Amino acid sequence: MEKIINSICNVVIDNSYKSFNESITIFNKDKNDIKIINSNNNEAKLNINDVYDEVLIITDENVYNHQVEDLINSIKARTIYEYIVPAGENSKCLEVYEKILNYCIRINLSRKSVIIAVGGGVVGDLGGYIASTYMRGIDVIQVPTSLLAQVDSSIGGKTGINLGKLKNIIGTFYQPKFTYINVNSLKTLPQDEFISGMAEVIKYSVIYDYEFLDYLIENSEAILNRDNKCLYYIVKKCASIKVNIVGKDEKEGSLRKILNFGHTFGHGVEKLCKISHGDAVSIGMNMAFKLSISEKLISQNYYDKFITVSKAYGLPLEFASSLKEEDSKFENKERLAKEVLSIMKNDKKNSFGKINLILPVELGEVKVINNIDESKILNIIRECNNA
């Protein structure tokens, strides 16, 4: 077990769930109402029921079949309630949110209860938002099981649900009690989901650590084969970077904005083309690189290196849409490009009517830029539409 902590974030990285109860002790040891002493007059390990009166696990159908039993066996609680949502982005909606709140009421969850969100980014965002709003906030523990969630979404306290085409437009900043990462759980992921998560891993090399980009290229085969040492290294590297960034800027006032690299472009593509979040981020990063090239902010060599690492992991760089028979190819592409731009203009990170873009400006460095003409942005979207 290894801890990455600061005044904002508590993260535990392990290769199993064996230290979950130990983490309960670590991150509740300062509670005044918990004083458990063993016969040797030393502080004893807390069981989860020494801290919480009820435990609710929120997960999805896929994760339930592969991960939840092992976690439950490690928790050893008197009673554990489970709520299973359909897998996929559609579960991040008001309807599912309301159903789970009603279930919380039915099982008598109190302010002394805890929600454990076990799954990928969808479950983490949904479970975190429920915990942040139920009874004005109860404890939540994040247990991410996807690569994307382990390196990014489970850390830092962002929660949210979608409304129509707008992703995470409803949400809160609400820090989990801790995030418990079992790196070995990545072995159960389908290969396409694992590859999709690599987009968020690559993101960290572009925004913060250029040398990490070389590691990802040189070790691509071992990483794709899910070598234990490589998996642990990349998860720890990305988690450490995010903990550091969030520790300096919890509410995304300045530095934390760089974590949105690829997302402003990507969210529009993700919703309209119904592709995975990671694939959309990969396409969004490519758009951002192309725009930086056109604005002469970076060299062609840097862009070529991004292409190299993206291709090494089989990540998409362009998007497509299904064509309706009555539409010409040009009409469909143009309409889709304008819809992507429209979603970008409604992004919650914008301000004063300007689109805030995160663009590469140096090796391993990005900046927030909001003075790019919309026509230039639209041209980049068109370039990356291969329909």
The span from the CA of 372 to the CA of 383, in Å, is: 17
224 within 8 A of 192, measured Cβ to Cβ: no
- Of 54, 200, 203, 257, the catalytic one is 200
Q: Are strands 166-170 and 81-85 parallel, antiparallel or unpaired?
A: unpaired
- Of 158, 237, 271, 305, the catalytic one is 158
- Of 92, 177, 236, 242, the catalytic one is 242
Alpha carbon 102 to chain centroid, angstroms = 26
- Of 54, 252, 271, 333, the catalytic one is 252
The span from the CA of 357 to the CA of 122, in Å, is: 24
- Of 35, 106, 136, 329, the catalytic one is 136
Number of H helices, E strands in the chain: 15, 11
- Of 203, 277, 290, 333, the catalytic one is 277
273 within 8 A of 259, measured Cβ to Cβ: no
Q: Which residues pair with 55 in a beta bridge?
A: 114
Q: Report, in angstroms and rounded to the nearest whole number, the Rg of the chain calculated over CA atoms.
A: 21
- Of 10, 28, 260, 385, the catalytic one is 260
- Of 167, 267, 290, 305, the catalytic one is 267
Name the residue type at position 254.
Answer: S
Question: Is 200 noted as a catalytic residue in this protein?
Answer: yes
Alpha carbon 112 to chain centroid, angstroms = 27
* CB-based burial, 303-336: b 16+ in 10 Å, e otherwise: bebbeebbebbebbbebebeeeeeeeeeebbeeb
Cα end-to-end distance, the chain, whole Å: 47
- Of 256, 257, 305, 333, the catalytic one is 256
At residue 206's C-alpha, the angle toward residues 373 and 239, to 5°, is: 125
Q: Quick one: which of 341, 208, 198 has its CA closest to 277?
A: 198
Distances (CA, A) of 142 to 119, 121, 160, 259, 298: 8, 10, 14, 19, 37
Question: Is 228 noted as a catalytic residue in this protein?
Answer: no
Question: Is 256 noted as a catalytic residue in this protein?
Answer: yes
- Of 263, 271, 290, 305, the catalytic one is 263
Contact residues for 292 (Cβ-Cβ < 8 A; gap 6+): 298, 303, 359, 360, 361
Question: Is 158 noted as a catalytic residue in this protein?
Answer: yes
Question: Is 252 noted as a catalytic residue in this protein?
Answer: yes
Question: Is 263 noted as a catalytic residue in this protein?
Answer: yes
Helix 277-294 vs helix 374-383: crossing angle, to nearest 10: 120
Indicate which residues carry an active-site annotation. Answer: 136, 158, 200, 242, 252, 256, 260, 263, 267, 277
